[in-house]
Amino acid sequence: MNIALSPRAADYRNRLLAFFDRHIYPNEKLYATQVNTGARWKTIPLIEELKGKAAAEGLWNLFMPEAPFGPGLTNLEYAPLCEVMGRVPWAPEVFNCNAPDTGNMEVLARYGTKDQQERWLWPLLRGEIRSCFAMTEPAVASSDATNIESAIVRDGDEYVINGRKWWSTGAGDPRCAIAIFMGKTDPTAAKHKQQSMILVPFDTPGVKVERMLNVFGYDEAPHGHAEVSYTNVRVPAGDMLLGEGRGFEIAQGRLGPGRIHHCMRSIGLAERALEFMCRRVRERVAFGKPIAQQGTIRADIADSRMEIDQARLLVMHAARVMDEAGNKAARAEIAMIKVVVPNMALRVLDRAMQAHGAAGMCEDFPLASGWALLRTLRLADGPDEVHQEAIAKLELKKYDPPKA
């Protein structure tokens, strides 16, 4: 599928592809070895080494649209780059383009004060520290963000934070230095004004990682997903982002780009799974002929190609609308890719696993782990059902009677 890219995007893409051929694909085994040897939650030497190379080649912070913090690519330009990075789940960090740091950096770039940016944004942009996003809570259905119950209470020059969060991705990394924390500053305010976001340095007393969570048996080290308790955590009032009651505003701003990045990466994962599938079925023989000659396998391959291409076009289209009309105007498109892409990629990976036989279930191929990762995306940043609802609402609204 050839989609016309801007010359700048095409150049980046070629360089990224070359970097993958030289440094990513040949190191997949080494990466697994380093992760699975020694301590569980640690810095991976390979990543640090490759970060140096990527930065030196200018393949760094490509996601960041805001000057002076990054190269200022449009969403449409970044999309195909993000897809390439997504072909290997650990690769985005090599280019400092990994979630949730990208989303957190965007929040700091857009809404942070100069001081907040000095302390947190620039170290993140240099890849020195890592961050997490503390939103989801175990006690409530967080698909409805108004349910979030953690308390952020002003006490003199400080805020006092109490609550329990989970699925704080990246909190397993020993360099995780900062959490963007969402909670209620005013439970009596209007529904979408109760919530605020505040910066919580991760070494503040009262912050405690209770456990690291599994995703289908994977702990997803070295970044992982943590359950974290916050008990009488005190931070200076200056760590508030944007102002009390503006948590939803920030969340909306953060989620658009975050979602499209997830989607592009997922397409990369799906493309790679289809590639593995095609190679595998050409090689393996059953019942007297290569599996590639079985009609149902061929239908699976064709369906995968059709579904990937459609989903990619929808993502590119969403990127264009975001670029041209803004994230808010693109909310139907963003909701659509959020539903379409993970479901598509799950189907493609499932077919690829099936074609691999038992091998597809285990660590010998990046299929089962990729599937697990994708499965969480039908829930992260809102379950499918919430986005379908948003799409339906916008569609039905088209038929509202004209206002007087």
List the interface residues with a copy of itself, window 208-227 (CB under 8 A).
213-219
Considering only 53, 154, 279, 328, the residue that binds a copy of itself (CB under 8 A) is 279
**Residue 104 CB, nearest approach to a copy of itself (Å):** 19
Looking at beta carbons only, is 11 or 303 nearer to a copy of itself?
303
Please say which residue, 96 or 168, places its beta carbon nearer to a copy of itself. Answer: 168
Tell me whether residue 97 or residue 291 sits nearer to a copy of itself (CB atom).
291
Interaction with a copy of itself in 318-377: which residues (CB under 8 A)? 321, 332, 336, 339-340, 353-354, 357-363, 368-369, 371-372, 375-376
Name residues contacting a copy of itself, limited to 381-400 (CB under 8 A): 383-385, 387-389, 391-393, 395-396, 398-399
Based on the shown chain and the rule CB under 8 A, indicate whether residue 284 belongs to the binding site for a copy of itself: yes
> Between residues 244 and 381, which has the closer beta carbon with respect to a copy of itself?
381
Give the integer Cα–Cα distance in Å for 184 and 77: 37
- Among 115, 118, 128, 303, indicate the residue that binds a copy of itself (CB under 8 A): 303
| 299 touches a copy of itself by CB under 8 A | yes
| Residue 126 CB, nearest approach to a copy of itself (Å) | 31
Residue count at the site for a copy of itself (CB under 8 A)? 85
> Which two tokens mark 399?
């038929």
Kindly tell me which of 143 and 162 has the beta carbon lying closer to a copy of itself: 143
- Strand pairing of 225-236 and 158-169? antiparallel
The closest of 145, 121, 162, 396 to 249, measured between CA atoms, is 145
Query: CB of residue 175 vs a copy of itself: minimum separation in angstroms?
Result: 23
Q: State yes or no: residue 25 binds a copy of itself (CB under 8 A).
A: no
Q: How far is the CB of 237 from a copy of itself (least distance, A)?
A: 31
- 101 or 300: whose CB is closer to a copy of itself? 300
Measured from the CB atom, the residue of 33 and 232 that comes closer to a copy of itself is 33
Cβ 344 to a copy of itself, closest distance in Å?
9
Figure out which of the listed residues 10, 18, 30, 286 binds a copy of itself, where binding follows CB under 8 A: 286
Which of 55, 379 has the CB closer to a copy of itself? 379
Subset of residues 158 to 187 that bind a copy of itself, contact rule: CB under 8 A: 166-167
| Residues from 133 through 162 that contact a copy of itself (CB under 8 A) | 136, 138, 140-144, 147
Give the residue from 126, 148, 127, 146 showing the smallest Cα distance to 138: 148
- The interface with a copy of itself within residues 72-131 (CB under 8 A) comprises none
Query: Which CB sits closer to a copy of itself, 227 or 244?
Result: 227
For the chain, the three-class secondary structure string (H helix, E strand, C coil) is CCCCCCHHHHHHHHHHHHHHHHHHHHHHHHHHHHHHCCCCCCCCHHHHHHHHHHHHCCCCCCCCCCCCCCCCCCHHHHHHHHHHHCCCCCHHHHCCCCCCHHHHHHHHHHHCCHHHHHHHHHHHHCCCCEEEEECCCCCCCCCCHHHCCCEEEEECCEEEEEEEEEEEECCCCCCEEEEEEEEECCCCCCHHHCEEEEEEECCCCCEEEEEECCECCECCCCCCEEEEEEEEEEEEHHHECCCCCCHHHHHHHHHHHHHHHHHHHHHHHHHHHHHHHHHHHHHCEECCEEHHHCHHHHHHHHHHHHHHHHHHHHHHHHHHHHHHHCCCCCHHHHHHHHHHHHHHHHHHHHHHHHHHHHHHHCCCCCHHHHHHHHHHHCCCCCCHHHHHHHHHHHHHHCCCCCCC
